[in-house]
Amino acid sequence: MDEEGLADISARYIRFAETEARDRSPLYEELARAVAGDRETLGFLSTLPDVKRQPNLLLAAVRHLYGTPTGWSEFRQALQANPDAIRSLMLERSTQTNEPGRCATLLPVLARLPQPLALVEVGTSAGLCLMPDLYSYDYGRKVIRAPTMASKPPVFRCSASETTPLPTTSPQVVWRAGLDLSPIDTSDASQVAWLETLVWPEQTARLANLRAALKIAAKVKPRLVKGDLRGSDLVRLCSEAPKDATLVVFHTAVLDYVSDLADREAFALQVMRLSPYWVSNEFSRVFPSIATRAGTSWPPGRFLLSANGSPVAWTDPHGASLEWIADEA
% of the chain beyond a pLDDT of 90: 88
Q: What is the mean pLDDT of residues 140-167?
A: 91
What angle do the packed helices 72-81 and 83-92 form, to 10 degrees? 90
Query: Cα-flanking dihedrals φ and ψ of residue 152, to 5°?
Result: -70, 125
pLDDT digits (tens, 9 = 90+) for 300-324: 889 999 999 999 999 999 999 999 9
pLDDT digits (tens, 9 = 90+) for 206-217: 999 999 999 999
Does pLDDT of 282 surpass 70? yes
Q: What is the mean pLDDT of residues 199-204?
A: 94
Exposure string (b/e) for 247-265, b if CB count within 10 Å is 16 or more?
Answer: bbbbbbbbbeebeeeeebe
Question: What's the pLDDT score for residue 329?
Answer: 41
pLDDT digits (tens, 9 = 90+) for 37-63: 999 999 999 999 999 999 999 999 999
What is the DSSP-derived secondary structure letter of residue 248? E
Nearest to 281 by CA among 262, 297, 304: 304
pLDDT digits (tens, 9 = 90+) for 257-274: 898 999 999 999 999 999
Longest Cα–Cα distance of the chain, Å, equals 58
Exposure string (b/e) for 8-31, b if CB count within 10 Å is 16 or more?
Answer: ebbebbbebbeebbbebbebbbbb
pTM of the entire structure?
Answer: 0.90
- 3-state SS class at 117: strand
Q: What is the mean pLDDT of residues 245-263?
A: 95
Q: How confident is the model at residue 25 (pLDDT cuts 50, 70, 90)?
A: very high
What is the DSSP-derived secondary structure letter of residue 66? H
Q: How confident is the model at residue 86 (pLDDT cuts 50, 70, 90)?
A: very high
